[in-house]
Amino acid sequence: MDERDRDLPGVLIPRPEVHLVVRFGPSARRGLDAYVLGGRQRVHRKFIHRGQWTVTARLHLGSHEAVLGAPASAIAGGMVALGELWGDAATRRLFDRLGDTRDTADAAAILERAISERLARGDGRSARAQLALDAAERLTSANVNTVAVDIGVSERHLRRVFRETVGVSPKAFAKLVRFHRALRAAREDEHANWSSIAADAGYYDQAHLIAEFRAFTGVTPQKFLGELRAAPLIA
């Protein structure tokens, strides 16, 4: 939940998860809109105007199709109006519920309930989604080929199913996991040594960490930390 009482820049950190975002305020169409933000591999910088408040739900990996009616691969890297995925009637019902609230906590509860209802109507987690989730857990500490062997599928099959279900390739997912590990460690201890952070997060060395940070953010790790201190996270 986010409420802005002044104009500020904002930062969206690269994540594989899909986000469902509801906006209230002057920036939203007719004062209220909702859109789906696909998994992304680059930082997105956005200026947020005073008076806007936002409620964001980060969907669990593997739940995208049940909640949105589309695979993660169809949304990856993009932004789609919720109505294009849910249809006009379902989106209107959500907006009717949200229209009477002016409190972010109430809005968050309404959005969570709407997502839960769609999950309950779904057929449960598919075999493809389960395979991708099993792979995702292993990719935090092993390469793609090793993971494919461990779960008994070909590397080609794993790549195809993973990209469709998660929205990014297994290799890109592993990079994102590493990036978040390092970023979390750096934010928790501002005096931490980057060489130590690189080793703990799974990079070959500090140069490897810097190169991947630049690929995700466009700047050095230290500069990105400074940006986060000045520009609050959007999601």
**CATH code of the domain containing 211:** 1.10.10.60
Rg for the chain, CA atoms, rounded: 19
Look up the pTM and report it.
0.84
Same domain, 112 and 67: yes
Same domain, 157 and 178: no
Residue 124 has pLDDT above 70, yes or no: no
Give residue-wise pLDDT tens across range 222-234: 999 988 887 666 6
Provide the pLDDT for residue 173: 93
Measured in whole angstroms, the distance separating CA 195 from the mean position of its chain's CA atoms is: 27
**Over residues 93-120, mean pLDDT:** 89
Give residue-wise pLDDT tens across range 27-74: 666 788 899 999 999 998 777 666 677 889 999 888 888 899 888 888
Same domain, 164 and 175: no
- Tell me how far apart the alpha carbons of residues 226 and 202 are, in angstroms, rounded to a whole number: 23
Provide the pLDDT for residue 104: 85
Same domain, 197 and 138: no
Same domain, 42 and 108: yes
Residue 234, in any domain of the structure: no
Residue 70, in any domain of the structure: yes
Domain boundaries, position 206: 171-229
Provide the pLDDT for residue 110: 93
Give residue-wise pLDDT tens across range 142-169: 889 999 999 999 999 999 999 988 989 9
Provide the pLDDT for residue 66: 87
Residue 80 has pLDDT above 80, yes or no: yes
Q: pLDDT band at residue 190, thresholds of 50, 70 and 90?
A: confident
Provide the pLDDT for residue 159: 93
Provide the pLDDT for residue 26: 65
**Over residues 174-187, mean pLDDT:** 94
Same domain, 64 and 149: no
Residue 235, in any domain of the structure: no
Q: Say which range, 40-44, 92-96, 126-130, 163-167, has the weakest mean pLDDT.
A: 126-130
Residue 67, in any domain of the structure: yes
Number of separate domains in the chain: 3
State the average pLDDT for the chain.
87
Residue 64, in any domain of the structure: yes
Residue 8 has pLDDT above 70, yes or no: no
